[in-house]
Amino acid sequence: MTALRFTKDHEWVRQEGDVAVIGITDYAQSQLGDVVYVELPEIGRVVEQGKEAAVVESAKAASEVYAPVSGEVVAVNEAIAADPAQVNADAMGGGWFVKIRLSDPGQLDALLDEAAYRAFVAEQG
């Protein structure tokens, strides 16, 4: 199984070769509540680590989805654009947002592993 990495902004990233699959964590979707709208970037857009890559809106709030890594958007999940509730149903799987061709795979090393992310979430209360 490919290791997941996490950000303190509650995004996850899974490396698949030279591509990173990115979404929001179960914790993030549970804090948002029912997701009602997802705005995805255009394919071909270059995103920078730590900058906005997508937007997710729930009944409670709108929130940016930040790119955990830099690279070019090579795919977007049209299924969640059509049915945003999939983010709530399977945030860590079928509810992914974008796929980015990594410009610097080394950026993954600076992200949290699963144990560190769990500890971070526990500290949030």
Range of the domain at 114: 4-120
pLDDT tens-digit readout, 22-33 = 999 999 999 999
pLDDT tens-digit readout, 99-124 = 999 999 999 999 999 999 999 999 98
Q: Round to whole Å and give the CA distance between 122 and 100.
A: 29
Taking the CA atoms of 20, 31, 54 and 9 in sequence, report the sign of the dihedral they define: negative
Our count of domains for the chain comes to 1
φ and ψ of 66, to 5 deg: -90, 145
How many C-beta neighbours within 10 Å does residue 82 have?
A: 9
pLDDT tens-digit readout, 41-100 = 999 999 999 999 999 999 988 999 999 999 999 999 999 999 999 999 999 999 999 999
- Output the domain CATH number for residue 101: 2.40.50.100
Q: What pTM does this model have?
A: 0.94
Helix (H, G, I), strand (E, B), or coil: what is residue 61?
Answer: coil
- In a domain, residue 125? The reply is no
